[in-house]
């Protein structure tokens, strides 16, 4: 299943038939930079062209797409909102706006934008598919909430498992006839059953036999109690280990230690934007290495344990470099793998 597809469709080609040769060359140059992951360079070229022709719809679509790729959602949102106002009969601006909303966890707004796209063009398959993905994500959030309120609700747990399997299903890449950027918010974890404390084992040690005097005396067994595990202490230790792993990840990011940063992600981690693991790692190497400095600060950490091997962490992340800065709320899911806590899912709220 494909998640939240952002489209600059060939459906819009009739708008650009009168563009001059210079503009056409610029489209190709911008698209090449996008394909190579050079988003800042692509944005600079796009904005340079828009300074000469602010009404060019295709350039504005590209601008919104690049801003989305750069996680500058507020700016991308403004671009697509303006495009929907100016072109209410086109479904693409509504679809792209829904992608930006979804990336921020605004699922109600995203569903409304997709409904507008469908109302404009009822046969627009991309909007229908994205709307289904939004509903699946909303269902996942609702089932998680139900389990937070009642951890013994096995029906909700089974439904959550089914929805998360649906969300995590891999999809085949589409033909390169459109510009596509998928943003995949990370699903919440499948909650495990709470570990059941075992009853203390009773170890019976026979008493030393005494010489018989008159009649056989039956010796009573000696009962040695087994020391039980302090559950609260164990959970505290687990939370400390999870927090330490999260801070190690942030420290590696700040130090631009790419190898340690990438090693913080588990094998099953699904990269955003429909990227392969190799392509995602290549992109992250570029984005961590380019700035002259990076400073990552995590605050207001809240850790929820799900069973003994899963943990969900919510926090505020501050990012600062020589070229960009932002502050976002984030969620990551970590799994214990051979005594290491690794990131399996990650999303910005």
The CATH class that applies to domain 5-182 reads mainly alpha
| pLDDT tens digit sequence for 290-343 | 999 999 999 999 999 887 888 999 999 999 998 888 889 999 999 999 889 999
Q: Which helix (H) or strand (E) holds 306?
A: strand 294-306
CB 349 within 8 Å of CB 330: yes
The mean of the pLDDT values for the chain is 77
The pTM (predicted TM-score) of the whole model is 0.45
CB 208 within 8 Å of CB 321: no
CATH number of 231-348: 3.10.450.50
Residue 249: what pLDDT? Answer: 96
Provide DSSP, 15-27. GGTT--HHHHHHH
Round to whole Å and give the CA distance between 333 and 304: 10
| pLDDT tens digit sequence for 46-83 | 998 888 888 888 889 889 999 998 989 999 999 999 99
Ranges of each domain in the chain? 5-182, 231-348
Provide DSSP, 223-241. EEPPPPP-HHHHHHHHHHH
For the chain, which ranges sit under pLDDT 50? 1-3, 8-22, 169-217
Residue 24: what pLDDT? Answer: 53
Burial string for 52-80 (b: 16+ CB within 10 Å, else e) reads eeeebbbbbbbbbbbbbbbbbbeebbebb
Handedness of CA 157, 160, 166, 169 (dihedral sign): negative
């Amino acid at each position: 299943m494909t998640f939240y597809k952002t489209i600059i469709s060939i459906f819009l080609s009739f708008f650009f038939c009168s563009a001059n040769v210079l503009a056409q060359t610029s489209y190709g140059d911008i698209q090449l930079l996008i394909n190579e992951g050079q988003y800042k360079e692509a944005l600079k070229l796009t904005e340079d062209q828009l300074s000469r022709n602010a009404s060019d719809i295709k350039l504005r679509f590209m601008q919104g797409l690049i801003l989305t790729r750069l996680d500058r959602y507020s700016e991308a949102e403004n671009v697509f909102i303006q495009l929907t106002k100016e072109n209410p009969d086109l479904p693409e601006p509504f679809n792209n706006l829904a992608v930006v909303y979804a990336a921020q966890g605004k699922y109600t707004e995203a569903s409304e934008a997709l409904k507008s796209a469908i109302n404009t063009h009822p046969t627009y398959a991309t909007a229908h598919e994205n709307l289904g993905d939004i509903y699946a994500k909303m269902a996942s959030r609702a089932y998680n909430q139900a389990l937070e309120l009642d951890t013994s609700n096995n029906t909700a747990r089974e439904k959550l498992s089914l929805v998360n399997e649906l969300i995590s299903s891999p999809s085949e890449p589409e033909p390169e006839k459109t510009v596509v950027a998928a943003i995949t918010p990370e699903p919440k974890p499948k909650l495990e059953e709470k570990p059941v404390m075992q009853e203390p084992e009773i170890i019976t040690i026979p008493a030393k036999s005494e010489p018989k005097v008159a009649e056989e005396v039956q010796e009573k067994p000696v009962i040695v109690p087994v020391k039980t595990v302090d559950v609260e202490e164990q959970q505290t230790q687990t939370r400390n280990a999870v927090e330490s792993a999260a801070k190690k990840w942030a420290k590696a990011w700040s130090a631009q230690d790419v190898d340690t940063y990438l090693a913080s992600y588990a094998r099953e981690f699904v990269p955003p934007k429909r990227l392969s693991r190799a392509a995602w790692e290549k992109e992250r190497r570029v984005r961590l290495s380019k700035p002259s400095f990076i400073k990552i600060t995590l605050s207001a950490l809240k850790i929820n344990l799900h069973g003994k091997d899963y943990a969900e962490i919510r926090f505020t992340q501050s990012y600062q470099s020589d070229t960009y800065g932002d502050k976002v709320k984030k969620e990551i899911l970590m799994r214990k793998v051979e005594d290491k806590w690794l990131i399996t899912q990650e999303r910005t709220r």
